[in-house]
């Protein structure tokens, strides 16, 4: 219930009690004890209204206040890494990206590949995560790098690179130069649904420095 609705409800109770008290005064003037009791209840309700705290409504993702969310077709990943992040991918990394596009077409395969920290999928997402983390700067807002699937009734399964990046670091990460007709900036994070599913490398799933050294990129 919103704050305004809550106050209106309590206010209605107070007004009702006042009307009841006036009715008693008009019809049963000898009931002074009841009137005193009602007046006490009204006073207590008024105090409760005055002391009522303003409810706190959380966003879908608390980090949304300091983050932005971007979506792009996964086939654009190589171009984005080389042109925007200005990194030179090896032939092995390019082959890994191609294999991800051709092999992962359903939620079960995505979950299975992501669970394997030596898979092309996980190693690639971890590589991108590490590059963005270096460009994040000193702020501690979260970074997430995700592979997402959308089951579209008309076009079939669509694949995306889905990112959460700190608003303060967007320019350093090159998001001020990405093509708006290719990249979609979202209003909020996208939770998993029956038609949308993603797996993300983020602070709680990122490799530790030791394990990151063993998987490579």
Q: Does position 14 have pLDDT exceeding 70, yes or no?
A: no
- Provide the pLDDT for residue 38: 65
Q: Is the dihedral of CA 141, 142, 148, 151 positive or negative?
A: negative
Of 190, 215, 191, 192, the residue nearest 126 (C-alpha): 215
pLDDT in tens, 158-205: 999 999 999 899 999 999 888 889 999 988 888 889 899 999 998 777
pTM: 0.66
What DSSP element (H or E) covers 13? Answer: helix 3-27
- Provide the pLDDT for residue 89: 94
pLDDT in tens, 83-103: 999 999 999 999 999 999 999
Q: Does position 52 have pLDDT exceeding 60, yes or no?
A: no
Half-sphere exposure at residue 152, Cβ-oriented, CA atoms within 13 angstroms: 10
Which is more confident, 37 or 96?
A: 96
Give one word for 25, left, alpha or beta, with left for phi > 0 and alpha for psi -120 to 50. alpha
Which is more confident, 200 or 206?
A: 200
18 contact partners, CB below 8 Å, separation of at least 6: 42
Q: Within 10 A of 207 (CB to CB), how many other CB atoms are there? A: 17
- State mean pLDDT over 64-69: 82
Share of the chain above pLDDT 90, in %: 45
Q: Does position 213 have pLDDT exceeding 60, yes or no?
A: no
- pLDDT band of residue 124 (cuts 50, 70, 90) is very high
Share of the chain above pLDDT 70, in %: 67
CA 212 – CA 217 distance, rounded (Å): 9
């Amino acid at each position: 219930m919103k704050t305004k609705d809550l106050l209106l409800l309590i206010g209605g109770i107070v007004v009702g009690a006042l009307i009841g008290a006036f009715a008693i005064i008009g019809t049963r003037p000898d009931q002074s004890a009841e009137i005193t009791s009602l007046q006490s209840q009204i006073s207590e309700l008024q105090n409760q209204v005055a002391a009522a705290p303003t409810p706190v409504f959380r966003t879908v993702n608390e980090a949304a206040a300091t983050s932005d969310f971007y979506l792009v077709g996964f086939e654009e990943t190589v171009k984005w890494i080389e042109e925007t992040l200005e990194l030179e991918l090896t032939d092995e990394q390019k082959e890994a990206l191609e294999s991800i596009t051709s092999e992962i077409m359903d939620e079960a395969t995505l979950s299975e590949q992501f669970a394997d920290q030596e898979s092309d999928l996980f190693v690639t997402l971890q590589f991108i995560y590490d590059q963005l983390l270096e460009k994040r700067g000193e702020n501690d807002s979260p970074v997430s790098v995700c592979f997402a699937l959308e089951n579209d009734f008309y076009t079939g399964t669509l694949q995306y690179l889905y990112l959460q990046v700190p608003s303060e670091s967007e320019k350093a990460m090159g998001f001020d130069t990405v093509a708006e007709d290719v990249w979609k900036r979202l209003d909020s994070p996208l939770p998993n649904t029956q038609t949308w599913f993603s797996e993300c490398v983020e602070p709680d799933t990122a490799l530790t420095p030791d394990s990151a050294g063993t998987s490579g990129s």
